[in-house]
Amino acid sequence: MPHIQLLSPRLANQIAAGEVVERPASVVKELVENALDAGARRVDIEVEQGGVKLIRVRDDGSGIDEADLPLALSRHATSKILTLDDLEAVGTLGFRGEALASISSVSRLALTSRTEAQEAAARVEVEGRDMDARLSPAAHPVGTTVEVRDLFFNTPARRKFLRTEKTEFNHVEECIRRQALSRFDAGFTLRHNQRVVQSLRPAESEVDKERRIGSLCGQQFIDNAVIIDAEATGLRLWGWVALPTFSRSQADLQYFFVNGRVIRDKLVAHAVRQAYRDVLYNNRHPAFVLYLEVDPATVDVNVHPTKHEVRFRDGRLVHDFIFRTLHRALADVRPDDHLRGAVAQSFGREPEAVVANPAGHPAGMGASLPDRAPPLAGGYANGGGFGVGSASQPQQEWKASDQMAFYQSLNEGGGVASRPDHASQPVAVTPPRDTDEEPPLGYAIAQLHGIYILAQSRAGLIVVDMHAAHERITYERMKHALAEQDLKSQPLLVPLSLAVSQKEAALAETHGEELQHLGLQIERIGPETLAVRQIPALLRGADTEQLVRDVLADLIEHGQSDRVEAVTHELLGTMACHGSVRANRQLTIPEMNSLLRDMEATERSGQCNHGRPTWTLVTLSELDKLFLRGR
């Protein structure tokens, strides 16, 4: 073995650059974060050849004093932390003091800066092969400009791993998108090969913020977004989450910020996925732009060299807060929230002129439904309602016994409870003209092939899949009935013995009360052996061994498990599917209207239990296009 020796500063910086500087976008990220930490209100980014030839970042921040310029390019030199207390409560985006030194070791770097107290600016230059800083006077307004030329010119092996110019610039553009989403109070300009790609002014008002979101994430996202703003136990979560109908095939529109820092965290991803579990179609991904504000002392940002990951002091509290906030917000979404986005896309930016919203609340922020519309001729509220309950019957009054009795009537009769003969034929009626009191889903006018309900609203034609809609209504009522009762356990005649690891056995022993609350009684009978003595009565036909192993895996990964709840809800969903009205069942107009009213009052009624949409809107403008009206 050779003798131990100190690495040269240049080699140490190049090793550090391997962690910090992965590609041009990494350089842009570090420089823009420095600008924002300096209090910049305007950041201009210019790149050439995807950032390989030139990266120039200019800001109007506080600047760097001339005497500090050479030190700014040294390793572990920073003005952002001084003591251990500062490190334990980091409030800035950067704090290690490695970025400029690492970048300068693999490029030709020039830094020009001026503070408000200085009459003239100064410039410092350094090249990767020669770490000596050269200081000279320069002309520059208050602020800082950093130029990075010929990235990886002295490390050709690293340069070989770069992609095409277009790919590298796409990464740069994504980096600026994240920074622009994290700081609404700053303006950003991005140029590529002397062409302006992004020009964003500071966004102070809510309208300006939504305009920036629409510019960066697409106007369709903001039209289909629910506004979130919740606080609890020292945490605040705010931002925008897309309606389940606006799902993606990839997780490419998911931005989560902790105290202004964009992160990718498994705990956060699990909480969001859990909140969307009942409403997303298979293999689809939600879209969101969310901001979590916490006490900096309760989050460790010094986990990853690129600071993309964080560690929460109380991860379970954060997970539960995110999950419950999103779960409640998605549950509160009603058809009028879906309609607002759909109508906005069809009619332009004035959806309120088409869909009435008397309360004037933004989507998802407690917007109240219009009052119940007056019944049609014959009145569905006077005994002519749909089988699952009329509009005048509150959802809370439904008991599990009533629900199961209704299933029996469905299965025995082969469809809806028995009706007079004339009920099997649809009757066309004219909806009321009092559009000020019109419900969001309008009024039924006919039934198509015994499958779809056609409803007329001021927005246009609404088509409802009656089985999918009824399935969601039944499912939500079953969940509500189950929540009012304790989850009953059933003892196993012969306890199930499981061979597990010592870690899993200790975990089951430690979380015994939590598992008991889930309906599982698990006893440790050996160092690596568990005995399952009770399981939830509803899951007596499930694979008990796999269920227990999945629950333990969740406890190891996330500190908690919703596996039993997920399997229980899956069973309830199957029961709801079999207990819902089937296709080819003719409904009367009052029955159809009662179903529409129940949809408006039911949580998550926009999707069935499997994540498929329950209704869709064909707007008047879309119908006009079909028939070339107005041309």
Non-local CB neighbours of 584 within 8 Å, separated by 6+ positions: 449, 450, 451
Type of residue numbered 219: Q
Highest mean pLDDT: which of 182-196, 353-367, 471-485?
182-196
DSSP three-state, residue 549: helix
Which residues, 6+ apart, have CB-to-CB distance to 84 below 8 Å? none
Distance CA 625, CA 19 (A): 55
Instruction: Look up the CATH number of the domain holding residue 542.
Output: 3.30.1370.100
Same domain? 417 vs 325: no
Q: What angle do CA 627, 630, 631 make, to 5 degrees?
A: 85
Domain CATH number, residue 85: 3.30.565.10
Q: How far apart are CA 40 and CA 52, in angstroms?
A: 25
**Over the stretch 62-112, which tens digit does the pLDDT of each residue have?**
999 999 998 888 878 888 888 888 888 888 888 877 889 889 888 999 999
For residue 363, how far is the Cα from the chain centroid?
16
Considering the domain architecture, whether residues 192 and 232 belong to the same structural domain is answered as no
Q: In the chain, how many domains are there?
A: 3
Mean pLDDT comparison of 280-284, 307-311, 318-322, 334-338, highest-scoring range = 318-322
**DSSP label at 249?**
S
pLDDT single digits (tens) 437-464 = 789 999 999 999 889 999 999 889 999 9
Tell whether 535 and 614 lie within a shared domain.
Answer: yes
**pLDDT for the residue 166:** 96
Same domain (yes/no): 212, 174: no
- What pLDDT score was predicted for residue 402? 54
Q: Residue 409: what pLDDT? A: 52
**Which pLDDT band holds residue 522 (cuts at 50, 70, 90)?**
very high
Residue 243 lies in a domain: yes
Q: For residues 128 and 53, state if they share a domain.
A: yes
pLDDT at 416 > cutoff 90: no
- CA nearest 564: which of 475, 489, 476? 489
566, amino acid identity: A
* Global model pTM greater than 0.85: no
In a domain, 310, yes or no: yes
Angle between helix 400-413 and helix 563-579 axes, rounded to 10 deg: 40
Q: Which of 331, 362, 396 is the last residue of a domain?
A: 331
Domain limits for position 327: 206-331
The torsion angles phi and psi of 97, rounded to 5 degrees, stand at 75, 25
Q: Same domain for 449 and 490?
A: yes
Backbone phi, psi, residue 195, to 5°: -115, 130
CA distance 46 to 169: 11
Report d(CA 342, CA 412) in Å as an integer: 40
Task: Judge if 185 and 278 occupy the same domain.
Answer: no
Residue at 152 is within a domain: yes
Average pLDDT over residues 363-368: 34
pLDDT-based confidence at 486, cuts 50/70/90? low
What's the rounded mean pLDDT across residues 56-67? 95
By percentage, how much of the chain surpasses pLDDT 70?
82
CA atoms within 13 A on the CB side of 227: 14
SS (H, E, C) 586-619: CCCHHHHHHHHHHHHHCCCCCECCCCCECEEEEE
Q: What's the rounded mean pLDDT across residues 188-206?
A: 95
Within this chain, do residues 78 and 165 fall inside the same structural domain, yes or no? yes
User: Scanning the structure block, which residue is given the tokens 């990964």?
Assistant: 557
338 located within any domain: no
Which structure tokens are listed for 578?
A: 């079999």
Overall average pLDDT of the 43-62 stretch: 97
Residue 386 has pLDDT above 60, yes or no: no
* CB 100, CB 112: distance < 8 Å: no
Q: Does residue 439 contact residue 462 with C-beta atoms inside 8 Å?
A: no
CATH number at residue 314: 3.30.230.10
In a domain, residue 174? The reply is yes
In this structure, are 232 and 167 located in the same domain? no
Residue after which a domain boundary falls, among 296, 315, 331: 331
Q: What is the per-residue pLDDT across 161-183, written as a single tens digit (0 to 9) for each?
A: 899 999 999 999 999 999 999 99
> What's the confidence (pLDDT) of residue 189?
97
415-429: average pLDDT? 40
Q: What average pLDDT does the chain have?
A: 81
- The stretch 468-475 carries a mean pLDDT of 90
The closest alpha carbon to 222, from 242, 202, 236, belongs to 242
Burial class (CB in 10 A: 0-12, 13-18, 19+), 51: buried
Which pLDDT value is given to residue 432? 54
Confidence of residue 293 (pLDDT cuts 50, 70, 90): very high
CB of 357 within 8 A of CB of 344?
no
pLDDT band at residue 411 using 50, 70 and 90 as cut-offs: very low
489 within a domain of the structure (yes/no): yes
How crowded is residue 423: how many other Cβ atoms within 10 Å of its Cβ? 17
Residue 343 lies in a domain: no
The domain boundary, picked from 151, 166, 200, lies at 200
- Residue 447 carries which side chain, given as an amino acid letter? Q
CA–CA distance, 240 with 225 (Å, rounded to integer): 6
- 194 and 252 assigned to the same domain: no
pLDDT of residue 431: 53
Q: Is residue 352 part of a domain?
A: no
Same domain for 571 and 439, yes or no, is yes
137 or 91: which carries more pLDDT confidence? 137
Considering the domain architecture, whether residues 402 and 524 belong to the same structural domain is answered as: yes
Q: Which of 243-252, 435-444, 589-598 has the lowest mean pLDDT?
A: 435-444
At 210, list the tokens.
């939504």
